[in-house]
């Protein structure tokens, strides 16, 4: 079974690349973030034509998540149970589904904007709610994982230059403590460092030649429970999909399971 996570940064803009990648990569389940569309405008029909069911949680121009599966889709949960609102809005940042033998959450963690900003406090509250939500799914013998754009680099090695992030979000102790709290629920980072590259980044800013200069971050993560981790046979970041015209600023993260 091949499972992946990908922040596509607008499914409308990325649809031709997404469809081609799904067909060429042999992916069975894709956790997708930053759809930037509404539920009604989500291209479920185009995905169905190549064999994928869609569980979508999206409400408009910003955010939006989905789980795409060609091996079944059941027990869908849209929204983060107990999750906080931001400025009175419950943003569409989480969706869960059971796909064949595996249960997954696709998450798009709030960015945080700046340390001390209201959005940063919201990010930490959101991560605390995520911990409560995944705790219920992480127990037992069923393989389970939470995948997505966490907007946190787990360690200094996961950013191209730690000094460039001094005082910024994505690398703070509070954010990393929130990731550690997830691991305390029986989850582990199943995409180890190093992979094929010394720095297996997953995101590169469009500006200032971020990708050609490899000024990236590893913020797209796969956290699995014990049965999920035990089933992992391979993992990689598909850097090729970050290349060329019309690419997202994130690359897909792919995990192969023996289940």
The residues annotated with a catalytic role in the active site are 108, 149, 250
List C-alpha distances in Å: 62 to 6, 65, 93, 125: 16, 10, 10, 20
Residue located via tokens 């990648």? 21
The rounded distance, in Å, linking the Cα atoms of 39 and 95 is 13
User: Which residues is 227 bridged to in the sheet?
Assistant: none
The rounded distance, in Å, linking the Cα atoms of 207 and 222 is 26
Residue 234, annotated ligand binder? no
Residue 225, annotated ligand binder? no
Residue 250, annotated ligand binder? yes
**254: helix, coil or strand?**
strand
Residue 177, annotated ligand binder? no
Helices 118-138, 173-183: axis angle to 10 degrees equals: 10
The rounded distance, in Å, linking the Cα atoms of 31 and 105 is 8
Pairing of β 65-69 and β 188-189: unpaired
Q: Count of CB atoms within 10 A of residue 258's CB?
A: 9
Q: Count of CB atoms within 10 A of residue 111's CB?
A: 16
The rounded distance, in Å, linking the Cα atoms of 206 and 183 is 31
Residue 137, annotated ligand binder? no
Residue 111, annotated ligand binder? no
Q: Which parts are annotated binding residues?
A: 7, 34, 149, 151, 249-250
Q: Which residues are annotated as a binding site for Mg(2+)?
A: 7, 34, 149, 151, 249-250
């Amino acid at each position: 079974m091949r499972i992946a996570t990908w922040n596509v940064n607008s499914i409308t803009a990325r649809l031709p690349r997404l469809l081609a990648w799904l067909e060429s990569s042999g992916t069975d389940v894709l956790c997708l973030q930053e759809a930037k569309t509404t539920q009604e405008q989500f291209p479920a029909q185009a995905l169905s034509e190549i064999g994928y069911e869609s569980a979508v949680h999206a409400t408009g121009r910003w955010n939006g998540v989905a789980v795409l599966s060609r091996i079944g889709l059941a027990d869908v949960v849209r929204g983060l149970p107990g999750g906080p609102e931001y400025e009175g809005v419950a943003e569409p940042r989480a969706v869960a589904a059971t796909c064949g033998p595996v249960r997954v959450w696709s998450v798009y963690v709030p960015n945080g904007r700046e340390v001390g900003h209201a959005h940063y406090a919201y990010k930490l509250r959101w991560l605390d709610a995520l911990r409560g939500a995944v705790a219920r799914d992480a127990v037992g013998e069923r393989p389970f994982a939470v995948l997505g754009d966490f907007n946190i680099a787990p360690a200094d090695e996961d950013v191209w230059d730690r000094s460039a992030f001094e005082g910024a979000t994505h690398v703070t102790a509070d954010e990393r403590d929130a990731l550690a709290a997830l691991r305390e629920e029986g989850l582990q980072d199943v995409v180890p460092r190093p992979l094929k590259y010394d720095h297996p980044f997953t995101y590169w800013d469009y500006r200032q030649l971020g990708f050609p200069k490899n000024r990236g971050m590893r913020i797209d993560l796969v956290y699995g429970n014990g049965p999920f981790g035990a089933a992992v046979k391979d993992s990689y970041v598909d850097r090729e999909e970050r290349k060329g015209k019309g690419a997202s600023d994130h690359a897909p993260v792919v995990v192969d399971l023996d289940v």
